[in-house]
Amino acid sequence: MAVEPQLWAAMLVTLIADVALTHYGLQVGLAEGNPLMRAAIETAGIAALFGIKLSIVIFGVGVRLTLGERGVVVPVGLAVPWLLAAVINAVLLGIALPQ
């Protein structure tokens, strides 16, 4: 599909935004809402969050390769929850979102 590279790029942007805003939020006193991620971050720092998300992307690439043409949904399926998390973090942090 012609838009697939852009979907993967958008997924990477949402991943980075989520990790960056989570990191910033933790620095200013917000708490990680996911108890498993909270424990991982407390143990290994923000690198744990990035590492887990990177592992999910690698798994997603594997799923993409097995699904053929239907696999174009994989980057969207990864990006949507990370975009929601980034938006929630931005709102909690009072960061103005583009209109």
Residue-level pLDDT at 96: 66
What's the pLDDT score for residue 69? Answer: 87
Per-residue pLDDT, 25: 94
Q: How far is CA 19 from the centre of its chain?
A: 7
pTM as predicted = 0.87
Strand locations in 2-99 (E): none
Tell me the per-residue pLDDT of 8-44, one tens digit each, with 9 for 90 and over. Answer: 999 999 999 999 999 999 999 999 999 999 999 999 9
Residues 18, 85: contact at Cβ < 8 Å? Answer: yes
State the pLDDT confidence band at 98, using cuts at 50, 70 and 90: low
Nearest residue to 27 via CA among 95, 93, 94: 93
